[in-house]
Amino acid sequence: MSKSIFATEEPRHGRDQGRSFKYIVYFFGFSMCLCVSAVSIIAQEAPPTPGPPKTVSVPAVKETKLSNGLTVAVVERHNVPLVTVNLLVRSGAANEDASKAGLADLTASMLTKGTKTRSATDIAEQVEFLGGSINSGAGWNSSSVGMTVTSDKLDKAMEILADVVLNPSFSQDELDLLKSQTLDELKFNLKQPGFLASYVASKYSFGEHPAGGTPASVGATTRNDIVAFHATYFRPERSVLIFTGDVTMAQAAALAKNLFGLWRGPSSEKASAQIGTNAERVKGSETPGRILVVDLPNSGQASVSYQRIVNGIGRTSPSFYPSSVLNSVLGGGYSSRLNQEIRIKRGLSYGAGSGFGWRSSRANFATRTQTKNESAAEVAELVLAEVKKLGDASVAEAELVPRKSVLTGNFDRNLETTGGLANAVADLYSFGIPTSELNAYVNNVNSVSDTQIRSFAGENLLGGDIIIVGDYSIFKDDLAKRFPNTKIDVLKADELDLAKDGLRK
């Protein structure tokens, strides 16, 4: 058992015990005085001002294309003998029907569960033997398979990566296991207020379906569904093979040609007929201010969120940068306004934040926090006030500069690793953004003005939905008191069904 820093040897008799106790009390009291004095000094000092903005210099992304349409992108960085390889497929949950929600992620996840010549165990053991890691999955906009290994193991690693992409077996046993694990996870998560709020918002506020699926859709997914999705959407002309780290363009191109050169997809007519995005199919409109309560009796806490669809402003829009800085001010970290107001000033939550979910032609904006049920209505009121303030009042330079520094600092730090660099490149390719934007990011962030933030907030963030998940009986009266002119819709958690327009079974 470890000892406290104040611990002494066990005394042999009473007099020694008394003397030891005095020493402990004296030392503890002296230490407390030092601590109090230090705190007083710190409290009197002003926090340091942010340093001058740093520039980020990323080596140019070199690119070539194979005869089958596969794009090969390479960022050479030879300071560390590591390489990350990421195969990006520009198809994801947006390409699945709502009745098949979760299909893209199940398909991508199954790639590492066995091929025609390797079992799931073989893949895991061989990757581990190389000292590497492999992962796969799908989001709304894309699917991916990635590996990170030391550069001397790249050839062997690439053989495994190509095998899982081109020759998946989609074993029924492995699929049954994955579905069982996914359903167990969903069953647990659907009892968590924060997850349940995001889950409901996907349909209620954004007109989409959960990218991870629903219990009904996951349970109904068949092996034929997965085989068909892979055959239709995993195509070389829709894919980018990204290399970052200790690798040359010549080496990457040779590996790509050798291992992926014969890759062919189905006829372009078949694929193009099915390719599309939910953002294009769902014609979003400006939603009126609504309040939805998902009643989860006996929940330990309540989730409070504000959701707003932003139509016509996608990831490629010039408004991406003003909205990013706006988000840093509002909910992008510990010093953001939401966290300051809800956690630091009032102690109503362990944390509060916000973010944008980007699509090609729109964005999903959401705030997030959890609080005790008794303060759910108060927190909802605070969130709305902070969102409204963005459009009404200016952001002082003293606040704006450090919030920009948070963005540029995180960006720079993420690019220090081969994995972070590969993800940044993949994000650009996913939306068809020129890779030169990597080196333009810092300047674009620092050029955002207070006027742009106010304009974006006033035009795009008002009139959204409040979604509260918690024990309604506890905050019912307070919610009605604080929002007397807004209709409050209440939905029992055990009656929830996202397949229905009214969300009820």
Give residue 349's pLDDT band: very low, low, confident or very high (50, 70, 90): very high
Share of the chain above pLDDT 90, in %: 82
pLDDT of residue 48: 67
- Kindly tell me if the per-residue pLDDT of 299 is higher than 60: yes
Does the structure show a pLDDT above 90 at 465?
yes
Residue 216, CA distances (Å) to 35, 452, 505 in order: 57, 43, 12
Mean pLDDT of 341-347: 97
Phi and psi based region of residue 493 (left: phi greater than 0; alpha: psi -120 to 50; beta: remaining): alpha
3-state secondary structure of 502: coil
CATH number, domain 62-279, options 3.30.830.10, 3.40.50.1820, 3.40.50.2000, 3.30.70.870: 3.30.830.10
Give residue 35's pLDDT band: very low, low, confident or very high (50, 70, 90): very low
466: which 2 tokens?
A: 């409040």
Going by C-alpha positions, the residue among 254, 226, 228 that lies closest to residue 241 is 254
Q: Does residue 448 carry a pLDDT above 90?
A: yes
Closest by Cα among 251, 239, 242 to 75: 242
Give the pLDDT mean for 61-68.
97
Q: Do domains 62-279 and 285-495 have the same CATH topology?
A: yes
Q: Which residue has the tokens 């409204």?
A: 388
Considering the chain, what percentage of its residues have pLDDT values greater than 70?
84
Distances (CA, A) of 86 to 59, 75, 125, 135, 167: 18, 12, 20, 9, 17
Which sign does the torsion angle of CA 220, 294, 355, 362 carry? positive
Give the pTM: 0.85
User: Regarding the domain delimited by 285-495, which CATH topology (the fold level of the hierarchy) does it fall under?
Assistant: Cytochrome Bc1 Complex; Chain A, domain 1 (3.30.830)
What are the sequence ranges of the domains in the chain? 1-45, 62-279, 285-495
Mean pLDDT rounded to a whole number for the chain: 88
Tell me what pLDDT residue 142 has.
97
Whether residue 261 has pLDDT greater than 80: yes
Neighbours of 80 (CB within 10 A): 13
Residue 136 has pLDDT above 60, yes or no: yes
Task: Quote the pLDDT of residue 21.
Answer: 38
Highest mean pLDDT among 18-27, 44-53, 140-149: 140-149
For 148-191, the pLDDT digits (tens) are 999 999 999 999 999 999 999 999 999 999 999 999 999 999 99
> 27 pLDDT band (50/70/90 cuts)?
very low
pLDDT band for 26, please (50, 70, 90 cuts).
very low
The pLDDT of 360-374, averaged and rounded, is 97
Q: What is the pLDDT of residues 81-109, one digit of tens each?
A: 999 999 999 999 999 999 999 999 999 99
CB atoms within 10 A of CB 254: 13
pLDDT at residue 244, rounded to an integer: 98
pLDDT digits over 467-480, tens only? 999 999 999 999 99
Examine the pLDDT at 233 and tell me if it is beyond 70: yes
Residue 22 has pLDDT above 60, yes or no: no
Cα radius of gyration (the chain): 27
Cα–Cα distance between 221 and 361 in angstroms, integer? 29
Q: Strand 143-150 to strand 82-89: parallel, antiparallel, or no bridges (unpaired)?
A: antiparallel
